[in-house]
């Protein structure tokens, strides 16, 4: 059971650690991939800027705005040789009013589609911009076979300073591949570090779990030793009280009774004798109270003394005070030590309540076996009480019956108390044998 407990704890730690690794890895993968894609797009924008300014802009004659064939051919030669390739699939050159003055797709030259908000913002700000192409637009009819493209706008000028907008279309697959290269270099290191940390923690967790388990076992052993020591000390005190003080009080009571008999014929003997007899009676009552206290300090060893003897000691002080007591206990009814302990504790509390609250003249205590259960019944003919009184006493802090009910329930049984004003009280407890 102890090994299973440690194994269970370590298994839970391993599963929680794996879950944490999966969650952290998934979150990191998403963030890294997103940032890698943004970085790839930024790199593509930088490359497009270089193509626009360093490659295309130096050959942009002013006459290209009017569609001069020579200027168009000159730019087309440069574009096809140095820009169009596996990465870039289309180039367009726009005037501020949205007319295409050049494209490597000749059918677009001279057409006016107007500039969108992004294109206009890039042209006015002088800063490059990039976004995914909307291939459903009319200007992109010839780019649709490429499925997904990234378009980059770069503001450029002709040799004479006329503003134009250089637009290049890049395959998005190349952007994605660049992103994969970026996060692909980082992710294995991150995952490897997480797994290494996890694998290091597993044996540490196992060692800590075993250490905690051993510490708990040691605390339990110390607690048992403390309980045993306390029990032994209480029994020693009870034995000393019984063998010392109780015996001394018994001797005193006998001496007082004898003295009362001797002074009977002396002057004022009757009065003195009565006082001595009362003192002897008080001494015997103190002995009974002390014996009850001894039982409270050191409950009997039920296994050695038996449940019948232990309960007999509980009711003996009441019988000595004149209460009629009937004890009928089948000592073989409660076979387990747990059942004996529970029944004794219930009987102890019930008898104490009768002594303190009931004002009864008769007490019946019985223990018998019934259908696999052992039943304890404690009944008296005392004052009784209403159910509301139980709630009132619980609110006042008297929780004896509540604790007993929980104790019996924990043992797999039940406890029922029935009473009515003037009709006495009956307490019945049933627990497995």
Domains of the chain: 2-179 (3.30.450.20), 302-433 (3.30.565.10)
Distance CA 123, CA 155 (A): 5
Query: What is the chain's pLDDT, residue by residue, as a tens digit (433 residues)?
Result: 444 566 777 777 777 777 877 887 777 777 766 676 777 778 888 888 899 889 999 999 999 999 899 999 999 999 999 999 888 899 999 999 999 999 999 999 999 999 888 888 888 888 898 888 888 888 889 988 988 888 899 999 999 999 999 999 988 877 777 666 666 676 777 777 777 877 787 787 778 777 777 877 788 788 667 756 766 676 677 667 766 776 777 777 777 777 777 776 666 667 777 777 788 777 877 777 776 676 666 566 666 677 888 888 888 888 888 899 999 988 788 878 888 888 888 898 899 889 888 899 999 999 999 888 999 999 999 998 887 776 666 665 555 677 788 888 888 899 999 988 989 999 999 999 8
Distance CA 16, CA 21 (A): 9
Supply angle C-alpha 41, 43, 48, rounded to 5: 90
Q: At 415, phi and psi to the nearest 5?
A: -130, 130
Report which DSSP code applies to 267.
Answer: T
Residue 2: the pLDDT is 44
Distance CA 91, CA 80 (A): 9
Asked if 182 contacts 38 with a C-beta cutoff of 8 angstroms, the reply is no
Asked if 27 contacts 194 with a C-beta cutoff of 8 angstroms, the reply is no
- List the structure tokens of 88: 């870039």
Rg over CA atoms, the chain:
50
Residue 156: the pLDDT is 94
């Amino acid at each position: 059971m102890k090994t299973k407990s440690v194994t269970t704890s370590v298994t839970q730690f391993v599963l929680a650690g794996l879950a944490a690794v999966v969650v952290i890895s998934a979150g990191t993968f998403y963030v890294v991939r997103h940032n890698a894609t943004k970085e790839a797009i930024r790199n593509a924008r930088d490359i497009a800027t270089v193509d626009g300014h360093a490659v295309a802009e130096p050959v942009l004659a002013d006459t290209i705005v009017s569609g001069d064939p020579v200027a168009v051919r000159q730019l087309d030669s440069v574009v096809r040789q140095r820009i169009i390739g596996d990465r870039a699939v289309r180039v367009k050159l726009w005037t501020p009013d949205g007319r295409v003055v050049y494209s490597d797709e000749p059918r677009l030259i001279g057409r006016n589609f107007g500039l969108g908000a992004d294109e206009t913002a890039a042209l006015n700000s002088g800063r490059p911009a990039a976004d995914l192409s909307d291939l459903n637009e009319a200007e992109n009819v010839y780019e649709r076979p490429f499925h997904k493209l990234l378009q980059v706008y770069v503001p450029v000028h002709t040799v004479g300073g006329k503003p134009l907008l250089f637009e290049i279309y890049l395959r998005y697959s190349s952007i994605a591949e660049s992103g994969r290269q970026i996060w692909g270099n980082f992710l294995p290191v991150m995952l490897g570090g997480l797994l290494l940390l996890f694998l290091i923690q597993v044996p540490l967790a196992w060692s800590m779990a075993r250490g905690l388990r051993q510490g708990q076992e040691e605390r339990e052993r110390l607690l048992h030793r403390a309980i045993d020591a306390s029990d032994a000390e209480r029994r020693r005190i009870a034995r000393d009280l019984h063998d010392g003080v109780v015996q001394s009080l018994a001797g005193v009571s006998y001496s007082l009774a004898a003295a009362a008999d001797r002074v009977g014929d002396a002057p004022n003997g009757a009065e003195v004798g009565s006082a001595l007899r009362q003192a002897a009676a008080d001494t015997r009552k103190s002995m009974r109270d002390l014996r009850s206290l001894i039982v409270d300090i050191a409950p009997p060893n039920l296994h050695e003394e038996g449940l019948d003897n232990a309960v007999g000691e509980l009711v003996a002080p009441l019988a000595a005070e004149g209460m009629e007591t009937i004890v009928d206990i089948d000592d073989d009814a409660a076979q387990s030590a747990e059942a004996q302990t529970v029944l004794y504790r219930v009987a102890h509390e019930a008898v104490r309540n009768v002594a303190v609250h009931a004002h009864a003249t008769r007490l019946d205590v019985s223990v018998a076996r019934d259908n696999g259960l052992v039943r304890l019944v404690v009944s008296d003919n005392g004052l009784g009480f209403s159910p509301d009184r139980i709630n009132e006493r619980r609110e006042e802090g008297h929780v004896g019956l509540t604790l007993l009910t929980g104790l019996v329930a924990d043992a797999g049984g039940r406890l029922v108390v029935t009473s009515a004003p003037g009709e006495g009280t009956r307490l019945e407890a049933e627990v497995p044998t």
